[in-house]
């Protein structure tokens, strides 16, 4: 049944024409002093006839829609990626013998932008019609598509009937895993430099045994396996690979500073981009045979997430499912408490990647936290910096306000640089980059750690 009945432009124009004709006739009759005229009764009769025709047309359309309802089917993917445009297809169908002219509006969640809606279409008789539009998620987590709305034009074109069709559907919005697909494709094509990933030349051999292979002149004789050579009656060498079966643990800041949002398009907030970078590094580490885990801090204890280190590519799906809907909170991040929690949960020596955005006033607390974690783990501190600060610092000083803004930006940059110098004096595993460069920088540092066998 229709939820709303509205007159169309044709009905409004017809009613306006009746009223205008009646008004002109009354003015003419008054000017010519014709006395009593049947203008008002005639106009009233025409208006009443139009109203009856309007109701009859709407009732007939409602009867036809009840007899042969318009069906709606939304073809949804299993998940969406944050900030990535997705094309959706919805299907309209009915079994009636005449076409319908209608306008479709799908109820896209408020956390998504959409294009090509509402869509004005003609649904042919006894057929199906696909309608396509595009959405772009702007927030992670669970989203719900409510039933769609259609506005159907009656047969005489006098009324529009608005109906809700279809069912509500929910789907998850995950971090932007498009970067993972691009990395995998470029890695296979040996073009990782296009996204800033460096290729390291191996120096020497790894320490993990890989396989036995046939000896080739020029290979180090110290790698010859004499027992295997005796069995095969030919020289056999042991081949080694980079150390595997190690662990990478992410310590993800969910405090107020990670709420910074400089998005120009759909890149997301600093937290979103930190999460995307963590997913990419997790993918790389899992492909290299390492275990990956994660822990959050900086928000309420009831919202804290912990994912124990696990191996295999299935661990990436589990990690994404565990972290995809988390959001930073407007609270202070306690670095020392996070370090103590990590030390209790992770006993095995690991590469701990701290993803945060710290200030010079946090330096003392963060220094104590890093010192505690480094008693057992290798710690990589990755901090995000705001690109807007560099833009302010480089703007022309045209007036007094601009001079103050530039001075404040330089003061902020100097204080931050001094804090980093203080921390880097004791350990070089520190990065301070803008969010767009974080993913490539983390992967490069991870490769450097593996090559140097720091774990």
Q: Which residues contact 28 (CB under 8 A, 6 or more apart)?
A: none
Beta-sheet strands, E only, within 167-264: 169-174, 208-214, 236-241, 247-253
- The 10s digit of each residue's pLDDT in 65-101 is 999 999 999 999 988 988 889 999 999 999 999 999 9
In a domain, 125, yes or no: yes
Do 332 and 212 share a structural domain?
Answer: no
In a domain, 411, yes or no: yes
In a domain, 2, yes or no: no
- The 10s digit of each residue's pLDDT in 301-353 is 778 899 999 998 899 989 988 998 898 998 889 999 999 999 999 999 999 99
Crossing angle (nearest 10°) for helices 270-287 and 178-188: 40
Say how many CA atoms lie within 13 Å of 296 toward its Cβ.
Answer: 25
Higher-scoring residue by pLDDT: 37, 98? 98
How confident is residue 203, by pLDDT bands cut at 50, 70 and 90? very low
Question: CA 105, CA 109: separation in Å to the nearest integer?
Answer: 12
Q: For residue 361, what is the domain's CATH number?
A: 3.40.50.410
Do 343 and 381 share a structural domain?
Answer: yes
Please, which residues bridge with residue 296 across strands?
252
Higher-scoring residue by pLDDT: 138, 40? 138
For the question of whether the overall pTM of this predicted structure is more than 0.75, the answer is no
Q: CA nearest 353: which of 415, 243, 438, 288?
A: 438
Please, which residues bridge with residue 445 across strands?
none
Do 318 and 380 share a structural domain?
Answer: yes
In a domain, 222, yes or no: yes
- Token digits for 146? 């409510």
Question: Reading across the β-sheet that carries 351-356, which strands appear in turn?
Answer: 306-310, 291-297, 247-253, 351-356, 378-384, 430-433
Do 80 and 35 share a structural domain?
Answer: no
Do 89 and 29 share a structural domain?
Answer: no
Do 165 and 223 share a structural domain?
Answer: no
Q: What mean pLDDT do residues 31-39 have? A: 69
In a domain, 1, yes or no: no
Beta strand 100-107 pairing with 119-123: antiparallel
Do 425 and 278 share a structural domain?
Answer: yes
CB 281 within 8 A of CB 248: yes
Exposed e or buried b per residue across 196-214, where buried means at least 16 C-beta atoms within 10 angstroms of its C-beta? ebeeeeeeeebeeeeeeee
Question: CA 269, CA 267: separation in Å to the nearest integer?
Answer: 7
Q: For residue 123, what is the domain's CATH number?
A: 2.60.40.10
Q: What mean pLDDT do residues 354-362 have? A: 87
Exposed e or buried b per residue across 394-404, where buried means at least 16 C-beta atoms within 10 angstroms of its C-beta? eeeeeeeeeee
- 48, pLDDT greater than 70: yes
Say how many CA atoms lie within 13 Å of 110 toward its Cβ.
Answer: 0
In a domain, 52, yes or no: yes
- The 10s digit of each residue's pLDDT in 207-241 is 555 677 777 776 777 777 788 788 888 888 876 65
Number of domains in the chain: 4
Report the 10 Å Cβ neighbour count for 291. 20
In a domain, 170, yes or no: yes
Do 54 and 84 share a structural domain?
Answer: no
- 356, pLDDT greater than 70: yes
Do 208 and 195 share a structural domain?
Answer: no
- The 10s digit of each residue's pLDDT in 240-267 is 655 567 899 999 999 988 888 876 545 6
Question: Domain range holding 47?
Answer: 7-67
Q: CA nearest 291: which of 242, 250, 321?
A: 250
In a domain, 195, yes or no: yes
Do 163 and 262 share a structural domain?
Answer: no
pLDDT mean across residues, the chain: 85
Do 294 and 223 share a structural domain?
Answer: no
Q: Whose structure tokens read 């974690």?
A: 373
Report the 10 Å Cβ neighbour count for 145. 21
Q: Which helix (H) or strand (E) holds 7?
A: strand 4-7
Say how many CA atoms lie within 13 Å of 25 toward its Cβ.
Answer: 14
Q: What mean pLDDT do residues 59-69 have? A: 93
Do 151 and 92 share a structural domain?
Answer: yes
């Amino acid at each position: 049944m229709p939820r709303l009945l509205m007159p169309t432009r044709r009905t409004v124009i017809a009613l306006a024409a009746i009223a205008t004709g009646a008004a002109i006739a009354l003015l003419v009759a008054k000017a010519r002093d014709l006395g009593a005229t049947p203008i008002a009764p005639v106009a009233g009769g025409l208006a009443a006839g139009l109203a009856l025709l309007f109701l009859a047309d709407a009732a007939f359309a409602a009867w036809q829609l009840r007899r042969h309802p318009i069906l709606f089917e939304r073809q949804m993917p299993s998940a969406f990626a944050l900030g990535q445009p997705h094309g959706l297809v919805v299907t309209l169908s009915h079994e009636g013998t005449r076409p319908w002219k209608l306008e479709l509006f799908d109820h896209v969640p408020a956390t998504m932008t959409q294009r090509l809606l509402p869509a004005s279409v003609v649904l042919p008789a006894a057929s199906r019609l696909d309608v396509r539009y595009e959405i772009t998620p702007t927030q992670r987590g669970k989203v719900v598509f409510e039933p769609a709305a259609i506005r159907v034009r009656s047969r005489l074109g006098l009324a529009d009937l608005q109906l809700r069709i279809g069912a509500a559907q929910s789907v998850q919005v995950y971090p932007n895993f498009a970067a993972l697909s691009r990395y995998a494709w470029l890695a296979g094509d040996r073009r990782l430099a296009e996204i800033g990933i460096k290729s390291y030349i191996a120096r020497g051999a790894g320490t993990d045994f890989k396989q036995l292979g046939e000896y080739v002149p020029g290979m180090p004789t110290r790698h010859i396996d004499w027992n295997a050579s005796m069995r095969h009656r030919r020289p056999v060498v042991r081949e080694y690979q980079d150390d595997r079966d190690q662990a990478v643990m992410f310590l993800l800041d969910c405090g107020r500073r990670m709420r910074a949002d400089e998005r120009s398009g759909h890149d997301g907030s600093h937290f979103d981009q930190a999460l995307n970078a963590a997913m990419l590094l997790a993918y790389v580490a899992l492909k290299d045979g390492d275990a990956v885990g994660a822990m959050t801090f900086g928000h309420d204890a009831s919202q804290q997430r912990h994912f124990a280190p696990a191996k295999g590519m299935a661990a990436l799906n589990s990690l994404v499912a565990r972290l995809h809907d988390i959001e930073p909170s407007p609270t202070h991040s306690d670095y020392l408490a996070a370090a103590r929690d990590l030390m209790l949960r992770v006993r095995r020596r690991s590469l701990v990647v701290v993803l945060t955005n710290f200030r010079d006033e946090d330096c003392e607390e963060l220094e104590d936290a890093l010192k505690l974690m480094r008693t057992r783990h290798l710690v990589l501190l990755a901090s995000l910096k705001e690109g807007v600060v560099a833009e302010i610092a480089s703007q022309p000083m045209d007036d007094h306000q601009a001079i103050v803004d530039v001075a404040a930006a330089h003061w902020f940059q100097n204080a931050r640089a001094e804090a980093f110098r203080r921390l880097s004096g004791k350990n070089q595993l520190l990065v301070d980059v803008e969010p767009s460069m974080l993913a490539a920088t983390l992967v490069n540092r991870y490769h450097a750690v593996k090559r140097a066998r720091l774990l």
